[in-house]
């Protein structure tokens, strides 16, 4: 039906809502009760377990914040926010247009609007998952752990910032 290895589940977690998972589980049980399943019991159980793992991964979502500096036009620096589920990192609050970057206050407003009260940060050594610390040789974009003044501003606004010694 669908692959349930870790790599696939880490990707699927972004495409299933809680409602999708609930509906799919309900349909699978309905199909089984009414003799409409054309896969083995082992395959059926593997898929059900995969849906449960996707649900667990969604509940374990973490938000990561990083200092960013875009040198394309000047030396603009700010904050980028990413959502992590499993080993997949997705843009959460990242500008679509260079050289714009969001200020710390922009990020605070977004986090408060979304009722997010805790974020994680840490030093990026070359890459964190698929996020590079350095991009674009001509006009570099630099990323790393939030700066201390950014952490202070976030904490003063009621956002808990967890500084990790090692990102993994």
Residue 70 confidence (pLDDT)? 79
Domain shared by 86 and 39, yes or no: no
H helix runs in 95-135, sequence order: 104-113
H helix runs in 60-168, sequence order: 104-113, 148-156
How far is it, in rounded angstroms, from Cα 128 to Cα 80?
13
Domain shared by 41 and 69, yes or no: no
Tell me the average pLDDT of the chain. 86
Residue-number span of the structural domain to which 47 is assigned? 6-59
Residue 129 confidence (pLDDT)? 80
97 is a domain residue: yes
- Confirm if 121 and 145 have CB atoms less than 8 A apart: yes
138 is a domain residue: yes
Q: What tokens were used for 80? A: 């980028």
Contacts of 47 (CB under 8 A, 6+ apart): 1, 2, 4, 28, 39
1 is a domain residue: no
Domain shared by 86 and 22, yes or no: no
Domain end among 15, 31, 59? 59
123 is a domain residue: yes
Domain shared by 80 and 26, yes or no: no
| pLDDT average, residue stretch 151-165 | 94
What sign has the CA pseudo-torsion 59, 113, 111, 69? positive
- Confirm if 117 and 160 have CB atoms less than 8 A apart: yes
Q: What tokens were used for 31? A: 């199909």
Residue 98 confidence (pLDDT)? 62
- Confirm if 62 and 122 have CB atoms less than 8 A apart: no
Domain shared by 54 and 66, yes or no: no
Domain shared by 13 and 79, yes or no: no
Looking at mean pLDDT, say which of 10-14, 50-54, 108-112 comes out highest: 108-112
Confidence category of residue 138, pLDDT binned at 50, 70, 90: low
Domain shared by 36 and 86, yes or no: no
How far is it, in rounded angstroms, from Cα 15 to Cα 54?
10
Domain shared by 135 and 90, yes or no: yes
Instruction: Tell me, yes or no, if the pTM score tops 0.75.
Output: no
Domains contained in the chain, number: 2
How far is it, in rounded angstroms, from Cα 28 to Cα 41?
12
Domain shared by 54 and 100, yes or no: no
| pLDDT average, residue stretch 12-41 | 87
């Amino acid at each position: 039906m669908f692959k349930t290895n870790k790599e696939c589940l880490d990707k699927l977690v972004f495409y299933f809502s809680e409602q999708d998972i609930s509906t799919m589980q309900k349909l699978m049980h309905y199909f089984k009760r009414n003799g409409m399943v054309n896969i083995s019991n082992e395959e059926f159980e593997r898929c059900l377990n995969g849906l449960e793992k996707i649900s667990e991964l969604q509940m374990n979502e973490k938000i990561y914040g990083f200092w960013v500096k875009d040198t394309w036009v000047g030396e603009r620096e700010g904050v980028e926010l990413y959502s992590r589920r499993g080993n997949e990192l997705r843009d959460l609050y990242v500008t679509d247009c260079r050289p714009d970057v969001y200020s710390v206050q922009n990020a605070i407003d977004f986090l408060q609007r979304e009722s997010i009260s805790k974020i994680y940060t840490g030093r990026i050594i070359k890459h964190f998952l698929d996020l590079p610390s350095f991009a674009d040789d001509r006009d570099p974009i630099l990323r790393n752990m939030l700066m201390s003044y950014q952490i202070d501003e976030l904490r003063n606004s009621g956002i808990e910032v967890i500084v990790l010694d090692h990102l993994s």
